[in-house]
Chain A
């Protein structure tokens, strides 16, 4: 099946710094990608929908100035967590759709210390 690659898998950063997470569709073009967040023992929550060439659509309660999304090409979407704080520590995972099927990246475990 189609492959979505997410990088990095793990990241530890200091409070106040910014972290960029990349999501690539390796063998197909994705005009739309999705970013999810998962807290321990909770379900995946959709943060935003990333649209190639236009602004991302954020879910209610998600700070767009804190979670910057860029979808500059048909195969790459990036999520930047700006001025990270310990409460941003979480598992972030991207998803791309090909036809009617969804493919997930490997996820990124972010720990802010």
Chain B
């Protein structure tokens, strides 16, 4: 079945450091890929997404490229800030059969802590 694997945290970085959070997936179809962010005490928010191979999603300085050949969707940011401290979830969405239903599969989440 479909699955999402992302690197375990926590990841601790100094402000302005480069961030990479790895995410790989397995899917039977042609899924859409997402990164969600969960700030302390809040729900999940969509950070970025990509719907087909080679698409690059970007938002708030974060980027991720849909790599079909390596089945990956790694999250990157060139210079992190303290306010980026949160839990980041990689996820895929895939259609169930020929129905209009989509299933979402989430990774376990990676906690990022950015120190001033």
Contacts and interface: CB of A to CB of B under 8 A. Distances in A.
Interface of A: 1, 4, 6, 9, 34, 36, 41-44, 46, 93, 95, 101-107
A105 B106 contact: no
Given A41-B108, A43-B106, A105-B43, 18 more contacts: A34-B104, A43-B89, A43-B107, A43-B108, A43-B109, A44-B104, A44-B106, A46-B103, A95-B104, A101-B46, A102-B46, A102-B104, A103-B46, A104-B43, A104-B44, A106-B41, A107-B42, A107-B44
Interface of B: 4, 36, 38, 41-46, 89, 93, 103-109
A104 B36 CA distance: 10
A60 to B, nearest CB: 12
A101 B47 CA distance: 12
A9 B46 contact: no
13 contacts: A1-B46, A9-B41, A43-B107, A43-B108, A44-B89, A44-B106, A46-B103, A93-B44, A101-B46, A102-B46, A104-B45, A106-B41, A106-B43
Given A46-B104, A102-B104, A4 B46 contact: no
Contacts of A102: 46, 93, 104
B108 A93 contact: no
A43 B4 contact: yes
Contacts of A34: 104
Nearest to A101: B46
A33 to B, nearest CB: 13
Contacts of A95: 104
Contacts of A6: 43
Nearest to B107: A43
A93 B106 CA distance: 13
A111 to B, nearest CB: 15
Contacts of B42: 106-107
A69 B93 CA distance: 23
B51 to A, nearest CB: 9
